[in-house]
Amino acid sequence: MYDESLYKILPDELIKDIGIYAGFQHVREIRLRTGRLPAAICDNGEHRGAVPVDEHMITRILSIATNYSSYAYESCMANGFLTIKGGHRIGLGGQVIWENGKVKNFLHVTFMCIRIAKQMKGCADNIMDELLKDGLKHTIIISPPGFGKTTLLRDIIRQLSDIYRKNVVLIDERCEIAACVNGVPCNDIGCRTDVLDGCNKLTGVYMAVRSLSPQVVAMDEIGGEDDIKAVKYCIKSGCAVIGTAHGSGIYDTDERLAGLFGKNGFKRAVILEKCGEAGKCLDI
């Protein structure tokens, strides 16, 4: 989906080298490391190219992805990623510029992990009844990176909005769930969903609760202190929260998220144990 944005940034010789000239429908990630062979991580395994990646290739991809103005994308790059049209996320690695105790930008980008976004309508079908049993509760989706948390969250949002008639506000901090272009979603996130695109979670929940009257607030990759504050604010404001977090299970995730589970936090968890599977829904 939205392959044109990927064809725009990726050199033809790279696409041919890693064998994805037929399209990206079975590709999950493209890994580029300067001086090493490129790789496409696909549904059927890893496909390595034959020609090592050079710094010129990565610089060219970065230039096109930032519309030849890395300065305009400095705040995103300081967080280690860019998101392009279609919701595809480009993770960045290399030598950073450290200023006032924070990463300001990259001096040299020499590593890339391009995660291919896919909308899979219906991937939440198997858990929706369980998710809504006894009413919608504050819910968190947990898995290691790359298991499909964001894809599942997107379909839950769509179904809550379209089928269950909930007013949803999506705080799309990394611009990859709705995949907005000029503020308009490219992905189907439901007819009753409003989006705060590129907005951090804490600021987003203040804006949402005060002005958009949500029944549900959705957010991806809850992790930092401000994210925890955002979840607590939503809960105290009477909104249902649905989010995702990295982890292997409830206990390690709860420890990292400062006790956001149980009585005053998430009441339900969806654990993804295998890549691409909806997983099991647990009451906490």
Average pLDDT over residues 272-284: 60
- Within 10 A of 191 (CB to CB), how many other CB atoms are there? 9
Residue 279 has pLDDT above 70, yes or no: no
Predicted confidence at residue 236, as pLDDT, reads: 94
Q: How confident is the model at residue 34 (pLDDT cuts 50, 70, 90)?
A: very high
Residues 143 and 278 both lie in one domain: yes
For the segment 54-90, what is each residue's pLDDT rounded down to a tens digit?
Answer: 999 999 999 999 988 877 788 888 889 988 888 898 9
Average pLDDT along the chain: 90
Distances in whole angstroms, Cα of residue 36 to Cα of each of 16, 28, 81, 188, 280: 16, 19, 21, 37, 38
pTM for this model (two decimals): 0.80
- Within 10 A of 217 (CB to CB), how many other CB atoms are there? 28
Q: What is the CATH number of the domain that holds 100?
A: 3.30.450.90
Considering its fold, how many domains does the chain have in total?
2
For the segment 220-233, what is each residue's pLDDT rounded down to a tens digit?
Answer: 999 989 999 999 99
Asked if residue 246 lies in contact with residue 145, where contact means CB atoms within 8 angstroms, the answer is yes
Residues 45 and 98 both lie in one domain: yes
Among the candidates 90, 115, 140, a domain finishes at 115
Asked if residue 156 lies in contact with residue 148, where contact means CB atoms within 8 angstroms, the answer is no
Domain span holding position 38: 3-115
Predicted confidence at residue 284, as pLDDT, reads: 46
Percent residues over pLDDT 90 in the chain:
61
For the segment 114-170, what is each residue's pLDDT rounded down to a tens digit?
Answer: 998 888 899 999 899 989 988 999 999 999 888 889 999 999 999 999 999 999 999
Residues 106 and 158 both lie in one domain: no
